[in-house]
Structure 1
């Protein structure tokens, strides 16, 4: 069976022995819940522990999903595999357990009842962490004078057997014939490759075997470190800190990170033997530093800290008042990494630091660094505790990111780190053969379609969009399975995960859940933490099984207050940063206060049809195509930019995939000039971002009064400009850096964004971002602070002019197949040279002032009747005006027919006077009439002066391709202007239709002969007075005859 490397949570061997530490504890009460013979154990118990209750003895019983003793979901669950019976209170259960004898098992509802078997019964625990070990504690009792012993056999990766006497004369003392004091403990059992441990309960002696209560402790399993890296964080100013020199007293070599800023050079890492490992550390969100004179641990004890007891490593530290981060990059993606983290600050205030590591999976851990007498003997700093993480697999980019957060007290700390490279553990997925075209959607009522007509909600609409894209050849074929259940929260989804998701064998799963269903309106921070941790668990579970997860962010509800709104914005900022594709639903329907935009709710908890449609628009249409192609999550690329100006000769264009409503466009700019920076094509017209004469950024709109700028940004410093539009709310907001310039009420449908242009300033640009959702001020601020927000991200181009990341300076790193396009700047005046004939578009000079004057081709004359001015109308649509007449190129009578004449007419804004400019290559374009979608071409492949210009269906004919040549540029070879039609009027071809041979009449010498298909493809090239056509298929062809003084195209039919 195919196996996967599990993105694992396991620990590496180190100098500090932490493997006896219990990571999680589970309590399980077996017995009936009928009051007469038993009751479930209510949580928390008197010791503060939470219990799980298994009451159904049948093999058909539903799974019992296990909570930890701290009431956290685990993803593990119990199934009965061979049936028990149950009994209890009236049949020998222990009714009054003694805490002195049974300690945490002394809970009367846990000891008063039991499961039993007269032979053998069994259950299995699934969903366990394959990298961990488990220690089991069994208790059972039955007040009966018969000696009865129960055997417990546990089978995982290994097998363990234990026996417990439950009954017998005076077994419990003072005449009590049941067990009231003995708990049998097993050794450490590792789960099998599927994360399972099977437990068999057998009657070993006497009439019955029993199980009453079970405690399961999760512990770490030791593994072998392949490489070890030591890192010292802190200043190197002697006063407050020093680098750690190598080798240290233990012979280990250290790496030193001393610069706290995001602009710091990367620190290349070597292992403890001073061998470079090819990885490096980059600061991604700045720290501060301190040390010797501010509470650093000056005299570490090797007996407490082992290999960390190096004074220069413990005496100084990095710290943060909120949250700071670094990224470890260039890691081996086939290996796992375990981190040992230490921080200390001698201060009586209780200070706790959270360390969050994100690679392919997540890990969070807390470490107390400060507090009264924390280190003993009156020392208020940490002297002995090192946080050891689970194993983290790097993400697809080879990165693991570490975020250091102040969890309690004034500061969070990072003093030193050890990173151990280890082998991953093999995990066997429940469904080895994935359906690579299947997407499961697992959520609650909104993704199930509640609020929409016939339950056709946003998930169903997105599925329909994927089908339409596949049918049109734009996207891959996808199958969507919606297994959402109204009312579900993260706990419900965890508890049905194995039953509902695994059997689908889907390659992808969208988790579509909300803080509302989680209970945020009453639960506050505890609910926030539960939602966050359970989402991380669901992500880890999916990747363990080889399923790629996608997350939808939290969204509006009508009962949210400012408190809940802040929670969902905080959660969304977290999800933005996670190494997982995500969708910003809040930015689609927010009213600015966390409630539904007016007109978009079905009821207080659900959107209506219009609201579901807005949610669908927020999902990147090509997301799954990009995931299937192996496109990894993007990360911020620094230290590069791209210079643009009108002299560049091109603009950068983003055309959103499919229909776009809400959006956020953001870019960094450095300039000292003024001019138009961005042009947006909308259904209503052109919207623009322009640096005005005062150096401020103005937003002008075809739909509203626009927004005048407040902040001067042409000071040659870097600034971030962000335009965000909430379609449902009907509002556009403009930010420069973190300063709101203003907002305007409008609803716009944008079809393209152009950066740079004919009137643009000379500027440097970086970090071009386009999201399919609006953004709150907190999100804008996070981007200004250098964070890459990834929810609903369709375009992220670093604008890598320095080729730091890619040889392509406009590469799109977002998980979409869309691209940033280079589009030539067309606006201005040109000659138009036909690719086939090399002649130029020409307005008949004899009728130059008249509407209806014919447009033809002619040899280059250099006159203004051959010059045309292009004005961009948006969406690559232009009006084309003859310079001499001032009139527009025009398709006669708004005809859509092939052969309709192209003429000039006074411009009235008709679609027959507007043309798409479609680039081909080498400055050649197709000129496509907007109203008909047909090419402007030269009739019948004419190479003669006077050849008529018409419209015709686009078959890629080169007679419909035109080169734009600026006045003053070197002209390409042209036909001799003295050549006239009457010089070659007697040339003909026969027979017509032809069968085997086509003859050329009216010539006295051999001539060049080329035969083209009706679409302009060259098929035959010859020289002579005839040409064989027997191999041509029946149809219409054009023959091009050319020699000195002769240049003619004729049509013939091949039978």
Structure 2
């Protein structure tokens, strides 16, 4: 196993930085389509007063349509120490194929702590999670971790700890889900209107957490897809001809709320290099040495790349559905943000998808296409820019190192999902640096 190092009250102190472990039992008696939810209060639906059962209830009903059976045995107040006695007595007798275990940095005691205590809590949580991961695997189970998330009594110090822990989790060889992005107000607190109290999301907040799960995650892992690793390759895809409309297309099978689209592009020509199609459309365009993001409301975010236009440019569009905010990054730096609400039905890389905009560049190279079902923050975008792969809530990871790009097929997707990045057109070619 490769893993990188690094007060409880039933209504308040146990929800920050929730981690979920989705565990797959491979023992002979395991019920291969059964998922047990084994965690603390958020996993038990606390904060959702509608009776829907929180994100776990939403996930249960969604998965039931795909022939999965979900059992919830969560308990408020658990942390990495308190949950251990329940592992043998309440989890193992269920013999599930998958187990969602939800624990939080808040329950470990990180809120309102001194630097010394905070560092101890951080390490206790990290080591406790690694212990649980090892314990699960020892018992024939494979874990998935959901990332730490916000709460309203977090100060900048706790927020930094949460973001740091999330980056560490992304280096572990365990699948993970990004719970911070959909509801982060930018300071580590819940978005206004999406919290029930300081430590719990309300129903709307739970709904956003639910949408951060990749819909086909369970099916992909059951099919044997491993946790993706960074592909370091000199290969890329070249699209030639401004007539290109949709060289690479992603059409989601399920509703997307928060999302991020990231990729590398290299071109010396003007033209549209990506489009997000919905009730209204947005797109990214190279124009006279600048890279522009055209929002659905017509606003343009622009950054000058004249000094870099002969090399690769790393672009990221990060949209938070709950706040209606899009952040546009170029080469790891924030180029601007705009208020808009995107309802993506299709994402296109390499062309305009036929919307009323300029055509594609005469020639352009593309590589490392990433599509997430969550919002990325600036630390995460910077990590991607510096060549770290983040796999939390990752639905598409296409390095575009395929030997050929044949129309009607799909580019190799290394993410733990069954989604496809469809290739269209006959001008897409393999190239080497």
TM-score strictly above 0.5: yes
Aligned-partner Cα distance in 2 for 1:679–1:736: 16
Partner of 2:419: 818
Q: Work out whether 1:514 is the aligned partner of 2:114.
A: no
User: Which of the numbers 314, 317, 321 marks the counterpart of 1:727?
Assistant: 321
Instruction: Determine if the alignment matches structure 1 residue 605 to structure 2 residue 199.
Output: yes
Name the structure 2 match of 1:790.
391
The secondary structure found in structure 2 opposite 1:709 is strand
Residues 810, 487 of structure 1: alpha-carbon distance in 2 compared, 3 angstrom cutoff:
same
What is aligned with 1:572? 166
Once residues 371 and 351 of structure 2 are traced to their aligned partners in structure 1, the CA distance between those partners, rounded to angstroms, is 19
**CA distance in 2 between partners of 1:698 and 1:692 (Å):** 7
**Which structure would you say has the larger Rg?**
1
Corresponding residue SS for 2:247? strand
Give, in whole Å, the separation in 2 of the partners of 1:795 and 1:655: 11
Equivalent residues in 2 for 1:976-1015, closer than 5 Å: none
Residues 334-345 of structure 1 mapped to structure 2, 5 A cutoff? none
What is the aligned partner in structure 1 of residue 37 from structure 2?
441
Aligned position for 1:482: 72
Distance 1:703 1:363 in 2: 43
Q: Contact 2:246–2:349 at 8 Å: present in 1 too?
A: no
Residue aligning to 2:278: 682
1:632 aligns with 2:222: no
Aligned pair partner of 2:62 in 465, 468, 486: 465
SS state at 1:495 partner: helix
CA RMSD of aligned residues (A): 2.1
CA contact (8 A) 1:641 1:802 kept: no
Q: Residue 336 of structure 2 corresponds to which residue in structure 1? A: 742
One of 674, 698, 707 as aligned partner of 2:292: 698
Name 2:239's counterpart in structure 1. 644
Give the superposition deviation at 1:800.
Answer: 1.1
What CA deviation, in whole Å up to 9, does each residue of 1:944-967 have, x standing for no partner? xxxxxxxxxxxxxxxxxxxxxxxx
Q: CA deviation at 1:765?
A: 0.9
Relative to structure 1, the CA distance from residue 797 to residue 442 in structure 2 (aligned partners, 3 Å threshold; closer, same or farther) is same
What TM-score results when the alignment is normalised by the length of structure 1?
A: 0.36
Q: Is the 8 A contact 2:272 2:286 kept in 1?
A: yes
SS of corresponding position for 2:107 = helix
Kept in 1: contact 2:4–2:172 (CA 8 A): no
Q: C-alpha distance in 1, partners of 2:368/2:26?
A: 41
How do residues 23-102 of structure 1 correspond to structure 2 at under 5 angstroms?
Answer: none
Residue 811 of structure 1: CA displacement? 0.7
Residue 554 of structure 1 pairs with residue 148 of structure 2: yes
| Structure 1 Cα separation of the partners of residues 4 and 390 of structure 2 | 20
Task: Say if 1:799 and 1:616 are closer, same or farther in 2 by CA, change over 3 A.
Answer: same
- Is the CA contact 1:588–1:726 (under 8 Å) kept in the aligned structure 2? yes
Q: Distance in 1 between matches of 2:263 and 2:157?
A: 31
Matches within 5 A, 1:999-1038: none
Determine if contact 1:444/1:488 at 8 Å carries over to the other structure.
yes
Which residue of 623, 631, 655 corresponds with 2:251? 655
Instruction: Confirm or deny: 8 A CA contact 1:513 1:552 kept in the other structure.
Output: no
The secondary structure found in structure 2 opposite 1:725 is strand
Q: SS state of the match for residue 83, structure 2?
A: helix
Shift of 1:657: 3.3
Distance 1:441 1:706, change over 3 A: farther
> Post-superposition shift, 1:656?
2.3
Q: Greater strand percent: which structure? A: 1
Q: Check 1:517–1:587 CA distance in 2 against 1; reply closer, same or farther (3 A cut).
A: same
Paired residues, what number?
A: 390
Residues 696, 714 of structure 1: 8 Å contact kept:
no
SS in 2 for 1:780: helix
User: Which of residues 115, 134, 137 in structure 2 aligns to 1:543?
Assistant: 137
**Post-superposition shift, 1:515?**
0.9
> What secondary structure, in the 3-state scheme, does the structure 1 residue paired with 2:70 have?
strand
More helix by percentage: 2
Residue in structure 2 matched with residue 454 of structure 1 by the alignment: 51
Q: Deviations over 1:368-409 (max 9, x none)?
A: xxxxxxxxxxxxxxxxxxxxxxxxxxxxxxxxxxxxxxxxxx
d(CA) in 2 for partners of 1:712 and 1:687?
23
Equivalent position SS for 1:621? coil
Q: 1:431 to 1:813 in 2, by over 3 A?
A: closer
Look up the match of 2:85: 495
SS in 1 for 2:168: helix
Q: Say if 1:551 and 1:580, in contact at 8 Å, map to a contact too.
A: yes
Instruction: Give matches, 1:167-206, under 5 Å.
Output: none
- Which ranges of structure 1 fall in alignment gaps of 5 or more residues? 1-357, 366-428, 471-476, 826-1055
TM-score (norm 2): 0.86
1:432 deviation in Å?
A: 3.9
Instruction: Using the TM superposition, give the Cα deviation of residue 519 of structure 1 relative to its aligned residue in structure 2, in angstroms.
Output: 0.8
Q: Which residue of 2 aligns with 1:718?
A: 312
- Residue 531 of structure 1 deviates from its aligned partner by 0.7
Relative to structure 1, is the Cα distance of residues 612 and 798 closer, same or farther in structure 2, using a 3 angstrom cutoff? same
Compared with structure 1, are the counterparts of its residues 551 and 745 closer, same or farther at alpha carbon in structure 2 (3 Å cutoff)?
same
1:576/1:790 contact within 8 Å kept: yes
Structure 2 CA distance, aligned partners of 1:778 and 1:363? 18
